[in-house]
Amino acid sequence: MQTTLARPLTLRGAGLHFGQPATVTVCPAPAGQGIVFERVDLGRARIPALWDRVEQSPLMTRIVGEGGASVATIEHLMAALAGCGIHDATVRIDAPEVPILDGSAAPFVAAIRDAGVIRRPGALTVWRVLRPVEVTRGDASARLEPADCAAIDFEIDFPDAAIGRQSKRLVLGRDTFGRELADARTFCREADILEMRAAGRALGGTYDNAVVVDGARVLSPGGWRRRDEAVRHKMLDALGDLALAGAPILGRYTGVRAGHALTNALLRKLFDTPGAVDLVACPASLLSGLPHLSAPAAAVRAVA
């Protein structure tokens, strides 16, 4: 079933990279609209959250509308919407960047659960991967291949002992995203912070909205939330970037040291490769293998 929110939700905070305060309100939307951002500070300029609207920017995902309006660092919100199975929403924002909040998608997921979800009758349209597609850049790679579910495999390898080599595999059916990935925070190496700020990035970053590491040390108070929080966050980012396909993907994504740009390049190759993917009505037998909220029951209701 196609879904939207039962009522609007609003969150406020500063952007991670530009540091500007932002208010974001996610509203119910008509069936079939998809996810659309509106810059309310720019005359409600509309920006569809789609892969071909992505402008390559380091360390973030930014989408640009036809009039040049843009919104950046959308990946955590997009991951929360995809992970909760929200297919249609209008995201109204009064700044050029989505607030970073605590650095994870957990605040967005909590707000979505509180707002509630409406399920509409009719078949859910999905992208079904039919042939493997892969892109590589140096020692990084991203791949999509056929599967009867939405699955993510990821592997990272950092020189800092506080991160090191981590890998994880998940099928993202039911409430898996909220349970396994939503609370994983963005992270960085202390050695990279000065370079990022010199480039006009990470201006809103703090030890409270990112996990900062230096060699074997974790500098952020409280340390990691999970032993493998870093790879979980990379999986969260990947889901948010894959959500720019415009519909859920039935397929297995495998990322090795992959980032935002590589996942977007993978989507571009997927849609440019004849016979690699097809837009279909999802068979009822496969719906349980797609991300969606199943609890609490009060948060989800159907409409005629």
CATH of the domain at 188: 3.30.1700.10
Quote the percentage of the chain above a pLDDT of 90. 87
Torsion angle, alpha carbons of 217, 222, 224, 226, to 10: 150
Single-letter code of the amino acid located at 182: A
Kindly report the number of other CB atoms within 10 A of residue 30's CB atom: 11
Do residues 183 and 76 lie in contact, with contact meaning Cβ atoms separated by under 8 Å? no
Question: How buried is residue 295: exposed, middle or buried, by Cβ count under 10 Å (0-12/13-18/19+)?
Answer: exposed
Angle, CA of 83, 87 and 88, to the nearest 5°: 135
Q: Is 83 helix (H, G, I), strand (E, B) or coil?
A: helix
Taking every pair of Cα atoms in the chain, the longest distance, rounded to a whole number of angstroms, is 56
Instruction: List the one residue out of 240, 183, 239, 235 whose CA is nearest residue 211.
Output: 183
Number of neighbours of residue 175 by Cβ within 10 angstroms: 19
Q: Provide, rounded to the nearest whole percent, the portion of the chain with pLDDT above 70.
A: 97
Domain that holds residue 74: 3-302
Q: Is 76 a catalytic residue?
A: no
pLDDT of residue 285: 95
Q: How confident is the model at residue 304 (pLDDT cuts 50, 70, 90)?
A: very low
Give the tens place of pLDDT for each residue, 164-187: 999 999 999 999 999 999 999 999
Q: Are strands 62-64 and 3-5 parallel, antiparallel or unpaired?
A: unpaired
CA–CA separation, 155 and 234 (whole Å): 9
CB 177 within 8 A of CB 79: yes
- Considering the entire predicted model, what is its pTM? 0.95
User: Pairing relation of β-strands 249-256 and 150-157?
Assistant: parallel
- Residue 192 has a pLDDT of 86
Q: How far is CA 135 from CA 67, 174, 186, in A?
A: 30, 29, 24
pLDDT computed for residue 295 by the predictor: 59
pLDDT band at 297; cut points 50, 70, 90: very low
Say how far apart CA 7 and CA 156 lie, in whole Å: 38
Quote the CA–CA distance of 77 and 257 in Å, as a whole number.
Answer: 22
Q: Which residue among 87, 233, 260, 292 is the active-site one? A: 260
In whole angstroms, what separates CA 202 from the centre of its chain?
19
> Amino acid letter at 242?
L
DSSP secondary structure code for residue 185 in this structure: P
3-state secondary structure of 21: strand
β-pair partners for 141: 136, 256
What pLDDT band is residue 214 in, cutting at 50, 70 and 90? very high
Give the chain's domain count: 1
